[in-house]
Structure 1
Amino acid sequence: MSTYKQKLEACGVEWPELYRPDLPFAPTKQIGEVLYVSGQIPEESGDIAYVGQVGGEIDIGAALQCARLCAANIIYWVDRALEGNLDRVVQLAKLTIFINAVPGFAAFSTIGNGASEVMNAVFGERGEHARSAVGMAGLPANVPVEIEAVFYVR
């Protein structure tokens, strides 16, 4: 796994230290060979790293970092679900990127690229994925970005 950590850190993101939240749903759910990852927010060491709307309090650079943090948190939970063996990832199938943006903001795809680039860097060809990046009027805790994922695993 150290190579995955190194690849993540080369993207400018540290390996997360997360704890399962006390919520009525799980961070991941595996059904057969499909692993669903609940929406991840830009959280670092148990704290929300960024709050606000993209195009308002949050500029594109900060929003890109939010997307990178969300991607790192997804990778962390996948690693936990696969008992520390990210080699079991066959393919990242889909990312859905939600962006809390001010009216008129339209660079959703640009923000989504922050997460896509991390996944491609960490997983190589196995990180190539389908994707949606959409704007929202708001997100939980007023975070700028939330991302969910679907993986095919063995």
Structure 2
Amino acid sequence: MVGTVDARLTELGIDIPTPASPVANYVGFVVTGNLVFISGQLPLKDGQLQYDGRLGESVSLEDGQAAARLCAINVIAQLKAACEGDLDRVTRIVRLGGFVNSVAGYKDQPKVINGASDLMAEVFADAGRHCRAAVSAGALPLDAAVEVDAIAEID
């Protein structure tokens, strides 16, 4: 049986990938009580980094938003694994943390991370509305343009 969230993903034309394996000494997610803490996700597709470089230099705002959206898809992949495949168990996206690889003085981090925030609202409706941080980073792993982590509530 296809759940409500899976049906919405299909409507949006989004395929949720197999979650990326950690590349260091950490796990993709931790479930404690009814909360899921999801490790930072990069803009990877089929194991390949799709957006690298710095905003305000070699990466446009639009590409930064697309990178953040791809990071959010990867967050959902981890969340789906944490929910044993049933995304309808998600009762709330509590918080997103957005990290933007950007030059000194760059000020559009919130606009970049909207790429992730907008997707969460599209996929989870009101349960996708969350608090967040959108901060600049001098560098990110693999020179990724964006990284997004999350906290979600599940039943």
Specify the TM-score bucket, using the shorter chain as the normaliser: over 0.9
- In the alignment, the residues of structure 2 paired with residue 78 and residue 7 of structure 1 have an alpha-carbon distance, to the nearest angstrom, of 19
1:7–1:121 distance in 2 versus 1, CA, 3 Å:
farther
2:103 aligned partner: 102
Give the superposed CA RMSD: 1.4
- In the alignment, the residues of structure 2 paired with residue 46 and residue 18 of structure 1 have an alpha-carbon distance, to the nearest angstrom, of 10
TM-score by length of 2: 0.92
**How far 1:50 moved relative to its partner?**
1.2
User: Which segments of 5 or more consecutive residues in structure 1 lack a partner in the other structure?
Assistant: none
Residue 6 of structure 1 aligns to a residue in which SS? helix
- In the alignment, the residues of structure 1 paired with residue 62 and residue 117 of structure 2 have an alpha-carbon distance, to the nearest angstrom, of 15
Percent identical residues: 32
2:115 aligned partner: 114
2:10 aligned partner: 6
TM-score by length of 1: 0.92
1:83 aligned partner: 84
Pair 1:33-2:37 in alignment: no
Report how many residues are paired: 151
Letter in 1 for 2:120: M
Superposed counterparts of 1:3-152, under 5 Å:
3-9=7-13, 13-152=14-153
- In the alignment, the residues of structure 1 paired with residue 23 and residue 110 of structure 2 have an alpha-carbon distance, to the nearest angstrom, of 32
- In the alignment, the residues of structure 1 paired with residue 79 and residue 111 of structure 2 have an alpha-carbon distance, to the nearest angstrom, of 24
- In the alignment, the residues of structure 2 paired with residue 95 and residue 7 of structure 1 have an alpha-carbon distance, to the nearest angstrom, of 23
Residue 67 of structure 2 aligns to a residue in which SS? helix
Letter in 1 for 2:64: A
User: Which segments of 5 or more consecutive residues in structure 2 lack a partner in the other structure?
Assistant: none
- In the alignment, the residues of structure 2 paired with residue 28 and residue 72 of structure 1 have an alpha-carbon distance, to the nearest angstrom, of 15
- In the alignment, the residues of structure 2 paired with residue 89 and residue 105 of structure 1 have an alpha-carbon distance, to the nearest angstrom, of 34
Segments ≥4 residues shifted beyond 3 Å: none
